[in-house]
Amino acid sequence: MDRSAIESTLAQCESALARPGRVDLGALGFWKAVAASKRRRELVDRYAERIARIDREAFLRYAGPLVFPAWLGVFALLVGTAAGVVVTGVAPTLAFPLREVAYLVGAGVIIASTHGLAHVVVGSAVGIRFTHWYSRPPASPQPGFKTDYASYLRAPARSRAWMHASGAIVTKIVPFAIAVAAYAGGAQGWCVALLLVLGVFQLATDALFSVKASDWKKFRREIRFA
């Protein structure tokens, strides 16, 4: 797709978004124009802000009611992570079965909280900004962060790729780390085994599904531009 085709596509998207009703950016070729822009730095410099405006308008139009400022999401996930760490930290002081429950609950809370935080931390470190925190139940109940697409496009492709991968990497480490802590803290074997099974299950789901539809798919997409 050359510059004139990108111009035409973006103009069609802007025209469609100026009218009420549902707009399918994919059908209009928006993401093909985005991919073409990523391949040449001068096109990123020329179109990043325009692409970001289109992307943001489409997101806000269809995001639904559960949309909040990004800072609120960061705060909520930091609180969740801290709560999970506290629960896990006090687990060794508890008696059976509260000790085992604390390890399992702590693992679940930390996994849920650190996934999005990892994206924000790594993304912010490479210059990517985040505008919103949102959830789309029931299809996509896991809360996520919306990137500012201009800053996303300006970040190096390899950095974009690792930003996508960061959430998956962190959540795969957590159950194994807590399994070690649970073993050291005197938890019963079934508790340690459940944590290990959770870790292996997450690895399997990543291998089977995430490479096709989630973080690892985006990682593979962006690493091709590197």
Q: What is the pTM for the complete model shown? A: 0.91
Q: What is the pLDDT of residues 86-96, one digit of tens each?
A: 999 999 999 99
Confidence band for 137, pLDDT divided at 50, 70 and 90: confident
Q: What is the pLDDT of residues 18-64, one digit of tens each?
A: 998 888 999 999 999 999 999 999 999 999 999 999 999 999 888 77
**Tally of residues, the chain:** 226
Confidence band for 115, pLDDT divided at 50, 70 and 90: very high
Q: What is the pLDDT of residues 152-179, one digit of tens each?
A: 999 999 999 999 999 999 999 999 999 9
